[in-house]
Amino acid sequence: MSINWIILGAGDIASNQFVPALISLDSCKVAAVIDKNRDAAEQLATRCGAPHVFVDPTEIRRFKEADAVYVATWPALHCEHTVLAAEAGKHVFCEKPMGVSLAECDRMLDACRSAGVRLMIGNNQRFHSAHQKVKQLMLANTIGPIVLAKVDFLTSFRLRQGERFRATQYRLTKGLGGGGVIMDMAIHAIDLVRYLLDDHVTSVGCFHDHLVYDSEAEDTAVIQLRFRKGTLGAISVSGGIPYGRNAVELYSDRGAIISEQSLARVATDTRVRVLLDGAWTEHATPAVDSFRAEIERFVESIQRDAQVAVPGEEGRADLAVALAAYRSREERRLVSIEEMQ
């Protein structure tokens, strides 16, 4: 069974990561590209062999040849576009963050349930081979209960984007991205650490500011977490720092599990190091296209009528933590996740 896709949003992630991974799969074809910028839509359609181009998202209602919609528009539009796709009877793969409010997440979940379609959130970091190895080690209880979990995720938007960089881009503008790097980057780290620990965040503290760019929203943040089972967590993110370990670090009273340079858009060969009772071991983790891997899992869920790998409920839980981080900074206190519900 081949899955025909509509690509809604022809920006950087869609054009350079998701769609190239999508068309590498025999099970997938792009039927149409939709973007308010017709030139961008036509360029992407030409690259992926899509026969149709639209500028109006409501064309989804009339376009019968598609089975699924990839929502890669601004986060502030994710809810509107997911609901539109669901009401048209299309399965939805929505980029992170799921939305910009929990009410939006609930509306998206309700729309997909009512229509009987799948909803998966694009937390591709779960599918990095290093993170999959860390998950295997955690499932095997390799070092025992985790006391401290740390994630660093740092990059420089200015250096990465070159002349295209603007401090007014959506990921640094509240009205488009819902915030700054907490919504754009920390949401990945939040999802990843929740996934690896298989635990729920109970309270959140946060400092954030725009320290590098003259942007409306934050370009750097530090988030503190407490989990239900007692683990303490720390997440550092920035869009203005050119180098970071981009690591996942899990510590127990018996040792550590460390995955360095694994938080990356384009995966490279990495290694996972394990310290257990004073002895170190290493596990090589070859590069895997995490975008392709998440698409494969989504397609399998449709073909087998099974649960998706990252359901909307997970995206909502991630967003609750991110929004609690903003409230913590605004109110200068620790925020309980229960307050956010």
Same domain, 178 and 204: yes
Same domain, 193 and 267: yes
Last residue of a domain, which of 90, 109, 124? Answer: 124
In a domain, 299, yes or no: no
pLDDT of residue 229: 97
Angle at which helices 187-197 and 312-331 pack, to 10 degrees? 120
Same domain, 143 and 100: no
Same domain, 23 and 81: yes
Q: Which structural domain, as residue segments, surrounds residue 99?
A: 3-124
In a domain, 310, yes or no: no
Last residue of a domain, which of 124, 141, 159? Answer: 124
In the predicted model, residues of the chain with pLDDT beneath 70 are none
In a domain, 282, yes or no: yes
Q: For residue range 257-314, what is the model confidence (pLDDT) as tens digits?
A: 999 999 988 878 899 999 999 999 999 999 999 999 999 999 999 999 999 999 999 9
Same domain, 147 and 286: yes
CATH number at 58 reads 3.40.50.720
Same domain, 114 and 135: no
In a domain, 297, yes or no: no
Last residue of a domain, which of 97, 124, 151? Answer: 124
Same domain, 160 and 275: yes
In a domain, 312, yes or no: no
Angle at which helices 312-331 and 102-115 pack, to 10 degrees? 170
pLDDT of residue 266: 81
State the total domains in the chain: 2
pTM: 0.97
Residue entry with tokens 């503290």? 205
Distances, alpha carbon 237 to alpha carbons 17, 146, 168, in Å: 21, 22, 19
pLDDT of residue 267: 79
Angle at which helices 78-87 and 102-115 pack, to 10 degrees? 10
Same domain, 75 and 167: no
Q: For residue range 129-171, what is the model confidence (pLDDT) as tens digits?
A: 999 999 999 999 999 999 999 999 999 999 999 999 999 999 9
Same domain, 189 and 329: yes
Same domain, 244 and 129: yes
In a domain, 314, yes or no: no
Give the DSSP letter of residue 243: -
In a domain, 77, yes or no: yes
